[in-house]
């Protein structure tokens, strides 16, 4: 179990000027009734940080659990914020030295607080059918904010962010045998806090995002997103996905192999996209990337066919071209990234090929692809992986296979996979129930917040196989964990929920001179137990990345119910949540979700590991709890933003020295297409 720092009870400072501005704008927007929430939260500043709950609220029919630190027994009360009346009374359940308050049986909609005699009262949280619509839309706004090669403009929670189209020279073909020649690799989402674009990480991201569409389409389809395409021929959700798919297709080479990535030879500094003019290159191909393109494009072809048959044909043809290439090139071929300082996302292709075969079969019905999947999947070390990320997407193939309505599957393989999946899902349930914070992933490592969210994909399949509600309950617990029921008492998503991250490792946010970071991003979280730092430099704990974001969207999408009012209207989607923990939340017409003004947080529970831990942690908490912290933090942010602008410090790329790929001439095709 992760160590927990001593609880921090701090005197909250008066809201700073920008919070007051939010309050005034709420009033001018006719949102005066919501001021009650803030007033309540001001009272709840006393709100005890020993109460750890899901700050974006709970969905009526799902599990609702919170953690009470430092006590193991007694009663708890859930009160309506409107009149302080009791909505639910329950008994705490001991868990380690702490306790769990389980009020899952409370299905009334409204705004509530959790109260534990002798401990304190939480800030307010909603219970509502649409409680996760706003957070879902904001998480999708994160993908929009990552768009490369186009101007991006975001308005959310009273703040605006903008970046000018950058990386329009993507990318050079030097490592594909055509030095100095550019082919079109523009577009797509930036991968993370850097500006690279990587196929392998895009694969698992798109796999889960497309799966969310297959699983939850009815509720996702009517919800509008804050994107330029809204109102167009595609549902907004698919329009956002298409932006990335279009880029992925550009990464396919003539022979069906796929370039592993587009990056410069090393990371740029903290500058805006348009300032990053270092040469960027298509990297050589890799077989994992090729399989991930085949899988993604095949899955997408099914999704897009009813909306745009011609696009679906393009996707399907691309998928088959890559799949055929893989068949003719069975060896695990890692992309040769020797010319790059950074060689990210290298991975065995075994699991990627499993996934590709499943999606090709499901899309085409090709019996040989089915045989390919079945022979490969039974050879895996784990038929279903409990802990999986970009390096191992085979679960995505298993999910597709188990969901399939196609005939021809091997009964014994189906049985084996179902048993393995339920065993893994049962493990998630018991791990979650054993954890003080409901966390079903015992391991803590770089990016494990993303894996916590990703467990929901396995749990969803288990629920479909058994109709047992416990699996969705554990998924709900993972969402609660990421939005405040954790050892920090803080949301792990920028701009959403209680006391969210303010300093993610993100080049756009770190170089734009705007105080809050781009909204909607899940940070990686602790890389070792208790070591999360809300600091830009802490890339190992506070970066953002599309694969974690895709998992977050999947998890939230499972509990999204389309607004009952005008379809997907921003107002309907913008359900406010509580104002808590040194920050205030407010609905907004554009972002559709609760936004959080910047503020100090009391819940930073830990510092770097080792001996300085407790002292460093306490110091930080105390510092943030003082009124002076507001001023110090603002000045520090200003100074840091100035310091981060350091163009010209990037390395000079080395000349290409790779021979052209044998057996293909992608460079020439690309060059010809561009007229160069």
Q: Which residues make up the interface to Ca ion (CB under 5 A)?
A: 347-348, 351-352, 391, 509, 512, 514
Residue 600: CB minimum distance to Ca ion, A: 17
Q: Does the active-site annotation cover 534?
A: yes
Residue nearest to Ca ion (CB): 347
**Distance (Å, rounded) from C-alpha 155 to C-alpha 610?**
41
Q: Which is nearer to Ca ion, 114 or 248 (CB)?
A: 248
Q: Which is nearer to Ca ion, 48 or 349 (CB)?
A: 349
Q: Which is nearer to Ca ion, 470 or 505 (CB)?
A: 505
Q: Are 393 and 355 in contact (CB under 8 A)?
A: yes
**Distance (Å, rounded) from C-alpha 56 to C-alpha 482?**
10
What would the 3-class secondary structure string for 605-621 be? CCCCCCCCHHHHHHHHH
Q: Which is nearer to Ca ion, 40 or 551 (CB)?
A: 551
Which one is catalytic: 194, 215, 359, 487?
Answer: 194
Count of helix runs (H) and strand runs (E) in the chain: 20, 18
Q: How many residues does the chain have?
A: 676
**Distance (Å, rounded) from C-alpha 19 to C-alpha 596?**
9
Residue 85: CB minimum distance to Ca ion, A: 42
CA dihedral of residues 66, 70, 75, 76 (deg, nearest 10): -40
CA dihedral of residues 459, 462, 464, 465 (deg, nearest 10): 180
Burial 258-275 (b: 16+ CB within 10 A, else e): bbbbbbbbebbbbbbbeb
Q: Does the active-site annotation cover 194?
A: yes
Q: Which is nearer to Ca ion, 55 or 392 (CB)?
A: 392
Q: Return the bridge partners of 78, or none.
A: 88, 114
Q: In degrees rounded to 5, what are phi and psi of residue 161? A: -130, 150
Q: Which is nearer to Ca ion, 434 or 514 (CB)?
A: 514
**Distance (Å, rounded) from C-alpha 167 to C-alpha 165?**
7
**Distance (Å, rounded) from C-alpha 454 to C-alpha 387?**
9
Q: Which is nearer to Ca ion, 57 or 599 (CB)?
A: 599
Q: Does the active-site annotation cover 428?
A: no
**Distance (Å, rounded) from C-alpha 648 to C-alpha 174?**
22
Q: Are 449 and 492 in contact (CB under 8 A)?
A: yes
Q: Is the dihedral of CA 386, 392, 396, 399 positive or negative?
A: negative
3-state secondary structure (DSSP) of residue 317: helix
Residues with Cβ within 8 Å of 201's Cβ and at least 6 positions away in sequence, in order, are 191, 192, 344, 345, 390, 545, 546, 547
Residue 645: CB minimum distance to Ca ion, A: 12
Q: Does the active-site annotation cover 543?
A: yes
Which one is catalytic: 48, 236, 534, 540?
Answer: 534
**Distance (Å, rounded) from C-alpha 436 to C-alpha 440?**
10
**Distance (Å, rounded) from C-alpha 369 to C-alpha 496?**
43
Residue 397: CB minimum distance to Ca ion, A: 12
**Distance (Å, rounded) from C-alpha 347 to C-alpha 398?**
19
Q: What angle do CA 649, 650, 652 make, to 5 degrees?
A: 125
Which one is catalytic: 505, 506, 512, 540?
Answer: 505
Distance of CA 297 to CAs 69, 196, 251, 327, 667, Å? 47, 21, 12, 17, 22
Q: Which is nearer to Ca ion, 348 or 375 (CB)?
A: 348
Return the active site residues: 194, 505, 534, 543
């Amino acid at each position: 179990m992760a160590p927990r720092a001593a609880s921090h009870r701090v005197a909250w400072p008066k809201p700073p000027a920008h919070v007051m501005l939010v309050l005034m704008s709420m009033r001018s927007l006719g949102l005066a009734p919501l001021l009650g929430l803030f007033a309540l939260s001001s009272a709840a500043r006393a709100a005890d940080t020993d109460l750890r709950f899901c700050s974006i609220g709970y969905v009526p029919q799902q599990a609702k659990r919170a953690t009470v630190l430092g006590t193991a027994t007694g009663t708890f009360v859930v009160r309506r914020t409107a009149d302080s009346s009791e909505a639910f009374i329950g008994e705490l359940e001991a868990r380690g030295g702490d306790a769990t308050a389980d009020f899952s049986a409370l299905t009334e909609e409204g705004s509530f607080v959790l109260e534990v005699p002798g401990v304190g009262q939480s800030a307010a949280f909603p219970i509502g059918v649409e409680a996760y619509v706003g957070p879902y839309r904001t998480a999708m706004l994160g993908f929009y904010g990552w768009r490369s090669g186009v101007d991006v403009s975001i308005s959310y929670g009273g703040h605006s962010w903008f970046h000018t189209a950058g990386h329009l020279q993507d990318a050079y073909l030097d490592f594909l045998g055509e030095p100095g020649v550019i082919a079109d690799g523009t577009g797509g989402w930036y991968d993370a806090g850097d500006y690279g674009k990587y196929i392998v990480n895009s694969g698992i991201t798109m796999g889960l995002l497309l799966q969310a569409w297959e699983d939850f389409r009815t509720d996702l389809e009517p919800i509008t997103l804050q994107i330029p395409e809204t109102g167009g021929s595609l549902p907004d959700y698919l329009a956002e996905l298409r932006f990335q798919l279009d880029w992925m297709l550009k990464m396919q080479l003539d022979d069906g192999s796929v370039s592993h990535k587009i990056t410069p030879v090393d990371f740029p500094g903290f500058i805006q996209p348009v300032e990053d003019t270092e040469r960027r290159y298509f990297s050589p191909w890799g077989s994992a990337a090729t399989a991930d393109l085949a899988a993604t494009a095949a899955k997408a072809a099914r999704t897009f066919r009813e909306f745009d048959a011609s696009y679906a044909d393009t996707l399907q043809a691309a998928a088959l071209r890559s799949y055929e290439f893989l068949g003719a090139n069975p060896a695990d071929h890692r992309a040769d990234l020797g010319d790059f300082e950074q060689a990210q996302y290298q991975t065995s292709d075994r699991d990627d090929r499993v996934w590709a075969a499943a999606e090709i079969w499901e899309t085409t019905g090709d019996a040989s692809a089915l045989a390919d999947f079945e022979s490969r999947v039974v050879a895996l070390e784990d038929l279903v992986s409990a802990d999986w990320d970009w390096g191992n997407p085979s679960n995505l193939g298993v999910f597709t296979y188990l969901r399939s309505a196609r005939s021809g599957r091997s009964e014994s393989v189906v049985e084996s996979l179902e048993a393995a999946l339920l065993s893994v899902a049962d493990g998630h349930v018991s791990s979650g129930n054993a954890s003080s914070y409901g966390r079903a992933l015992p391991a803590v490592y770089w990016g494990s917040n993303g894996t916590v969210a990703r467990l929901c994909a396995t749990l969803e399949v288990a629920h479909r196989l058994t109709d047992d509600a416990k699996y969705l309950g554990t998924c709900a617990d993972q969402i609660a964990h990421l939005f405040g029921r954790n050892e920090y008492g803080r949301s792990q998503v920028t701009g959403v929920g209680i006391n969210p991250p303010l300093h993610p490792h993100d080049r756009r946010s770190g170089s734009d001179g705007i105080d809050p970071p781009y909204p909607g991003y899940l940070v990686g979280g602790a890389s070792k137990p208790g070591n999360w730092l809300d600091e830009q430099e802490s890339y190992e704990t506070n970066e953002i990345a599309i694969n974690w974001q895709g998992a977050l969207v999947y998890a939230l999408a499972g509990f999204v119910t389309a607004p009952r009012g005008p379809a997907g209207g921003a107002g309907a989607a913008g359900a406010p949540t509580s104002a808590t923990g040194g920050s205030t939340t407010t609905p907004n017409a554009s972002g559709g979700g609760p936004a959080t003004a910047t503020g100090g947080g009391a819940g930073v529970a830990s510092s770097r590991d080792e001996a300085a831990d407790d002292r460093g942690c306490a110091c930080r908490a105390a510092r943030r709890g003082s009124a002076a912290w507001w001023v110090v933090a603002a000045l520090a942010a200003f100074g840091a933003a100035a310091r981060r602008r350091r163009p010209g410090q990037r390395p000079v790329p080395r000349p290409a020295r790779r021979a052209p790929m044998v057996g293909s001439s992608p460079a020439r095709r690309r060059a010809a297409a561009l007229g160069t």
